[in-house]
Structure 1
Amino acid sequence: MKFFRKVLKFANLKQNRYPILIWMLPVFTAFFLQMFSFGINRILFKNVLENSATAFVFVCFALIFKNKLSKIFQHILFYIFVFTNLFETIYLSIFKANISASSIFIILETNLAEATEFAEFYLNPTLIFTAFVFIIIAVFYAIRPGYFILKSVFNYEQLIFVSCVVLTIFLMKNRDYLQFNFIYLSYQSVTEYFEEQEKMKDLHIDQPLVEIEGFEQIRDIDEATFVLIIGESTTRNRMSLYGYQNKTTPYLDQILPEIDKYDDVVSSHAFTIGALKDALTLNGLKSSNDFSIIQLLNQAGFKTFWLSNQRPIGQYESLVTKLAMASDVYITKNTALDGSITPLDEVLIPEFEKAISDPAQKKFIILHPLGTHMKYSDRYPSGFEKFTDQSSSNFDHNLAHSRSNAYDNAILYHDFFIKNIHERLTKIEEASFMLFFSDHGEEVYDTIDFAGHIDERATPSMYEIPFFLWRNQTFQNEFSLKIDTKRPAFLKDFVHSLSDLIQVKFDGYDTTRSLFSDDFKIKDRIIGNDINYDKELKR
């Protein structure tokens, strides 16, 4: 009993009542706001426990220090605590899923233009109200701060606080609550981000040539122009080419007899970095002998071009930028010099014309347009605003209809962009092909009341991508491929399919993973956060 009396005296509950209330205010504010947007479920209660434990860790850490320094730490940590609760609440409100390390990793790779579009796309009265409430809490604390003051009744009090911090974090990790903690996830993702940066340096992924073990050209190609178009956020389920009710791809529909349209291709991730890291490198940068498709084509003697309308974060920061820099010619039309203006994808057409006119005998040209990336209404000019009435959305409200129509219009313009590339390519006499796929798909009010893409809330449309190949007559006469458009394929295996197209092989080349090989074998397609697409998501 004497010990408990000491504990109560030490806690000084009467004097610390206000600090307890003010620190718990963000916790319960987050809970009620999340409940309003997300509904009541077990995740919300876990968040309350995790946030309460985080508050306890912050306070104990601040109390390790004495007097004025302790108050300074309490003050700083309280504002950090308010921000983390605000961020988690906004994330839950938008995505109806808990934040993850991969989400924060994506933020680190996001440029200002994308961040601005994201904010414009998802901004709504609920988010404004949420931000306003948390700002009020922060301002109130600034006006009337509450500092914990404990009475000294134990020896080695600093050791007690250190023990409380360590024990609480251990219990949170042991009980799997750290998976919901913004600060822990931030640390984890930042660490992973810089590890990836170092890995890319070690692999020299931005260098034109690296040692590709066992590289061999199966046959010599004297003259060729090969084109790869990497779409952005385009699901095949919104293309009339794949049976969609709105005529969103009139040109592709027209040339359908000339193309090989693959009906069952999925991406490995619902975000660009993860998807393209898997698709454009041999092993997703997971092994010391890894290389990119650009380096493979350079090794095969092609002059490589990367023409992009994607804005890089910085010259040496983005994974995709680094991959692109291995090209002989790297041009991006969407730069910081453009300010907040995002150019339409047609700005790439003059650059493409220059590339196909280049005197090099063998050319490989990658086009990386913005495609149907959010904000959808910014992806096309007014002349392509064809779909304006009741949309095909499965959710009947104004926002769903307006976004669905904008997305369909964006695909219509993307079809026009592809038309311009294809028509210029048809004039070339040497062997040529045009291969198109999207990095990932997009959910646009199809199976859930949401527009966007996120691994943490996987839907079929986020992974089901268009994949088609056009080959001119010269290519068809000179190259033999196995064409079976019903094969269930995985974008993660793209390097192996490309190797068959350009007639090369190397150590690690696997014919069972190539769409164009007789040896192709069907395998489980593990997507996103370890989801077996064929068993858990495929419709």
Structure 2
Amino acid sequence: MNVTVKDTPASRSLVLTPWTGFYFLLALLINLALGYPFSLLYAVAFSAILMLLWQVTPRGQKALIALCTLVAGSYFPFGQAYGAPNFNTVLALHATNMEESKEILTIFPWYSYLVSLLIFGLGIIAVRRQPSPARSWQWHDHLCLAIALAACFVAPVQNLVHGGVFALKDTGYPVFRFVKDIVVNNAEVVEEQNRMAQLSQMKDTWQVMSVAPRYHTYVLVIGESARRDALGAFGGHWNNTPFASSVNGTLFMDYVAASGSTQKSLGLTLNRVVDNQPQYQDNVVTLANRAGFQTWWFSNQGQIGEYDTAIASIAKRADEVQFLKSGDFEADKNSSDEALLKMTAQVLTTKRSTPQLIVLHLMGSHPQACDRTAGKYATFVQSKETSCYLHTMTQTDDLLARLYQQLRNTGESFSLAYFSDHGLAFKERGTRVQYLAHDDQFQQNFQVPFMVISSDDKKHRQVKARRSANDFLMFFSQWTGIKTKEIVNRYRFNSEQKAGPIYITNFKLKKVDYTHLGSDLFDSRTR
């Protein structure tokens, strides 16, 4: 690219030159690309830094611009959907396999990539700027230096005023914050994974006091990315879940997920939690094992390694575990959740005297939804991706219906529980490219379906009392009849008893009152 901005001695003597505007535009785009809220102050301050570096070390300036535009251009689509780096996004980077990575890249709107190309292009123009003769510092150079330095102190001073600690490392420059957030959160993720790996290989500490299962077979189906308002059975605008809407069983109409992403949410749901830390050795599988159940775990989600995700660490404790995807290139295929029914059929054909726990982990409604449905949908709502998302609910409903029939055919008593790990939020709302992605700012990110269907259910009922996934182990204990010293039954889960305040864990690992979150309603308009 040979586009340059003319640089003459006359123009250099002015405060405002074409390059001044150019650097401001570049600083502004880099700010937005890295996922932080717009700040005129830091856009001006960073452009001042670029102008100062041009006078002091042009090569250093070009190197900085090359690095910043490369990172910003690459991150822009992610930044618009997920914001600045946090614990959850870094954790997802560690836990995402190749297939999921490709799906994420195809879900962003095309114009996000156009802006990325614009940032790359501006970076090339800046790097190709021709050197100019050296000159002495002028008053506007001192002004740029003053602005750049003053901006360094704004955020640290604000922290101090609001009761925090003054530290220059807390400066608000987006480029510096991005590096800091990546480094700090990556260290936290690595520390958590190391702790998980250690605990996952330790013997569980459950102290079982009694075991009195009401049913012979228990099946736990873990859904993926299903918002409760997308299912007709749970109040959605569409009749897309005929089985769940009519089957005799219990639907929990106000169940709240523990967090907004799979690994963190299920880590807090399926493990015993002490001081907000999951105890990975003590989970639903090891509890069932300790109580004498025979356990299976069948998953259509990726397994990167043996213990390197919260889910894999739990799954590996089952008597038998099988992943349809192992996380390597050969296994990265878009397999269907239906394949899991072949595994349950094999288990259920054999009569066993001991109680059984079968866990199925679905791909469900994971973005990109049209990959789940092969591009098919029943009703068009706003965009193709939104329409496919609604159809994934029907696919999961059909799977549950077929699984229910498998269980009935055994002639044994059974109980089937289904819930989703978290919901999603709308991005590019109201456009033809509207899609859904992970978020933690809205109640709908945590409003998920939860239902229990048992062989002796006589009616279709709803529980409207609010329930939290943070209490899932209490539900599991009451459901399976396994009593332990570690699980305290504060209330009867399957009832209208009040459960008290509900908190969720956001992407920064902060506990937030669920009622303080915003709203992201599902627009039912078809066009």
Give the alignment's TM-score, normalised by structure 2.
0.77
Query: Alpha carbons of 1:285 and 1:199: their partners in 2 closer, same or farther (altered >3 Å)?
Result: farther
Alignment match, 1:272: 262
Alignment match, 1:451: 435
**Unaligned ranges ≥5, structure 2:** 1-11, 138-144, 160-170, 522-527
For the Cα contact (< 8 Å) 2:257–2:504, is it kept in 1? no
Alignment match, 1:192: 188
For the Cα contact (< 8 Å) 1:19–1:148, is it kept in 2? no
- Rounded Cα–Cα distance in structure 1 between residues aligned with 2:482 and 2:173: 44
1:405 partner SS: helix
Give the CA deviation at 1:98. Answer: 4.8
Please tell me the residue identity of whatever aligns with 1:239: L
Alignment match, 2:359: 366
Alignment match, 1:115: 101
Give the CA deviation at 1:452. Answer: 2.1
Give the CA deviation at 1:179. Answer: 9.0
Counterpart among 298, 310, 328 of residue 319 in structure 2: 328
Query: Alpha carbons of 1:62 and 1:504: their partners in 2 closer, same or farther (altered >3 Å)?
Result: farther
For the Cα contact (< 8 Å) 2:30–2:72, is it kept in 1? yes
Give the CA deviation at 1:414. Answer: 1.2
1:279 partner SS: helix
Please tell me the residue identity of whatever aligns with 2:493: L
Alignment match, 1:471: 454
1:333 partner SS: strand
**Does residue 515 of structure 2 align to residue 534 of structure 1?**
yes
Please tell me the residue identity of whatever aligns with 2:348: I
Q: Which 10-residue stretch deviates more, 311-320 or 286-295?
A: 286-295
- Rounded Cα–Cα distance in structure 2 between residues aligned with 1:148 and 1:268: 60
Alignment of 1:396-475 (within 5 A): 400-444=382-426, 451-456=435-440, 458-473=441-456
Give the CA deviation at 1:274. Answer: 1.8
**Does residue 83 of structure 2 align to residue 83 of structure 1?**
no
2:373 partner SS: coil
Alignment match, 2:334: 342
- Rounded Cα–Cα distance in structure 2 between residues aligned with 1:319 and 1:277: 6
Give the CA deviation at 1:427. Answer: 2.2
- Rounded Cα–Cα distance in structure 2 between residues aligned with 1:284 and 1:369: 27
Please tell me the residue identity of whatever aligns with 1:349: L
1:310 partner SS: strand
Please tell me the residue identity of whatever aligns with 2:389: Y
Give the CA deviation at 1:173. Answer: 4.2
Q: 1:289-342, CA deviations, whole angstroms, 9 ceiling, x for partnerless residues? A: 662211211211222211111122334422222222222212111243556530
Give the CA deviation at 1:530. Answer: 4.3
Counterpart among 380, 383, 389 of residue 373 in structure 2: 380
Q: Which has the higher helix share?
A: 1
Give the CA deviation at 1:461. Answer: 2.4
**Does residue 291 of structure 2 align to residue 297 of structure 1?**
no
**Unaligned ranges ≥5, structure 1:** 1-11, 153-160, 392-399, 478-482
For the Cα contact (< 8 Å) 1:104–1:185, is it kept in 2? no
- Rounded Cα–Cα distance in structure 1 between residues aligned with 2:274 and 2:494: 21
2:384 partner SS: helix
Please tell me the residue identity of whatever aligns with 2:67: I
Q: 1:391-412, CA deviations, whole angstroms, 9 ceiling, x for partnerless residues? A: 3xxxxxxxx3322221121111
- Rounded Cα–Cα distance in structure 2 between residues aligned with 1:58 and 1:326: 54
Alignment match, 2:473: 495
2:321 partner SS: strand
- Rounded Cα–Cα distance in structure 2 between residues aligned with 1:506 and 1:60: 66
- Rounded Cα–Cα distance in structure 2 between residues aligned with 1:515 and 1:524: 14
Alignment match, 2:226: 234
RMSD over equivalenced CA pairs, Å: 4.1
2:237 partner SS: coil
Give the CA deviation at 1:380. Answer: 2.4
Q: 1:509-529, CA deviations, whole angstroms, 9 ceiling, x for partnerless residues? A: 121265147986332334535
Q: Which 10-residue stretch deviates more, 516-525 or 301-310?
A: 516-525
Query: Alpha carbons of 1:286 and 1:246: their partners in 2 closer, same or farther (altered >3 Å)?
Result: closer
2:391 partner SS: helix
Q: 1:253-301, CA deviations, whole angstroms, 9 ceiling, x for partnerless residues? A: 231xx11111110112221122111111111784586622112112112
How many residues end up aligned between the 2 structures?
Answer: 478
